[in-house]
Amino acid sequence: MTTAEPSLATTWPGADVDRRTVRPGGVPVSALVAEVPRPRAVIVALHGAATSSVYFDHPGHPRLSLLRTAAALGFTVVAVDRPGYGGSAGHDEDLPTHQARTDLLFAAVDALLEGSEHGRGLFLWAHSAGCQPALRMATDPRGVGVLGLELAGMGREPHWRRREALDQWRRDPSGPRPRLRVWEPPDAYPADVYGGARIGSPTPAYEMRHRETWREEIVGVAARCHVPVHITLSEHEEVWRSGPEALADLASLFTSAPRVVTAEQAGAGHNISVGHTALAYHLRVLAFVEECALGVRDLPFEEQRHE
């Protein structure tokens, strides 16, 4: 009698994932941490809106987990619940400004990594609304040692479907406000992942207030970024305008970065790290992290905008 091979869904390699909480300045900050001995580097992962750190380690799907895949390749990963999420939910009054939230993230990462090896340094990996604090950290004086930056699911202009729905709502605001199309198309995700029931989280009020102003602020913040940047948009992105022109537009903002690489992830929707092609996406960006850890910072211009 033959024995079936164990499913990769249950045997995916990598370090154990621990939930930790630290209290810098008295504010509780929770995180998921996959720590390895003598890491190549440390990846700090920042989730998007309406979810939490579990976005990077979806329950029941270790193959889709950034933490487990990166740990298997020798990277420590710290997926922080951003200010207003997880442990710090309800602490908005303690975090009234962008600077206060940036300070909390730096302090939390320091506390979570206290006594741990950092390898070649920190790499910031962000999705959607998490790209805002990641860019602020990378351009803060304390981010001088950051190796590089991954920005996924970020845009400057809404997707045309979302834009049309918003325009219609503005003409007739009596109807419900259009929802973001963050889970389209359904077949980009496993059936029990689609919709995000197991990783959802309330969005803090400050994030809703600053959602529209960020499209203007990003121009100045991106211009101050002096580390290598990788930008990913999904093939089926329906929150932001996507495609080659949108990627080139985003890349053009990083006028001070020594290297900018763009990529479109085939088969993916907006929530790129929990879809069927999450592993392909993670491996692609982990190759970029490895290059940053090796000190690869510059390429001829013709190679900067394409993968």
pLDDT, tens only, 154-185: 988 876 466 655 556 566 666 665 566 889 99
Give a yes or no: residue 286 inside a domain.
yes
d(Cα 289, Cα 225) in Å, to the nearest integer?
17
The residue among 208 and 3 whose pLDDT is bigger is: 208
pLDDT computed for residue 121 by the predictor:
96
In a 13 Å sphere around the CA of 84, the CA atoms on its Cβ side amount to: 26
d(Cα 41, Cα 293) in Å, to the nearest integer?
7
pLDDT computed for residue 2 by the predictor:
37
Domain that includes residue 139, residue range = 8-299
Give a yes or no: residue 183 inside a domain.
yes
Tokens of 53: 């750190």
**pLDDT, mean of residues 219-241:** 95
Give a yes or no: residue 105 inside a domain.
yes
Instruction: Give me the CATH number covering residue 196.
Output: 3.40.50.1820
Give a yes or no: residue 274 inside a domain.
yes
Cβ-count burial 104-119 (b if 16+ within 10 Å, e if not):
bbbbbbeebbeeeeeb
Domains held by the chain: number: 1
pLDDT computed for residue 180 by the predictor:
66
d(Cα 202, Cα 205) in Å, to the nearest integer?
9
Cβ-count burial 226-240 (b if 16+ within 10 Å, e if not):
bbbbbbbbbbbbbbb
Query: Angle at the Cα of 212 (from 202 to 109), degrees rounded to 5?
Result: 55
Give a yes or no: residue 195 inside a domain.
yes
pLDDT tens track for 121-157: 999 999 999 999 999 999 999 998 899 999 999 988 8
pLDDT computed for residue 145 by the predictor:
85
Whether residue 190 has pLDDT greater than 60: yes
Strands 260-265 and 42-46: what pairing?
A: unpaired
pLDDT computed for residue 164 by the predictor:
58
Give a yes or no: residue 60 inside a domain.
yes
Strands 148-152 and 76-80: what pairing?
A: unpaired
**Residues whose CB falls within 8 Å of the CB of residue 198, separated by 6 or more in sequence, listed in order:** 54, 58, 59, 60, 192
Give a yes or no: residue 305 inside a domain.
no
pLDDT band at residue 307 under the 50/70/90 scheme: very low
Give a yes or no: residue 306 inside a domain.
no
Q: Tokens 């992962």 — which residue?
A: 45
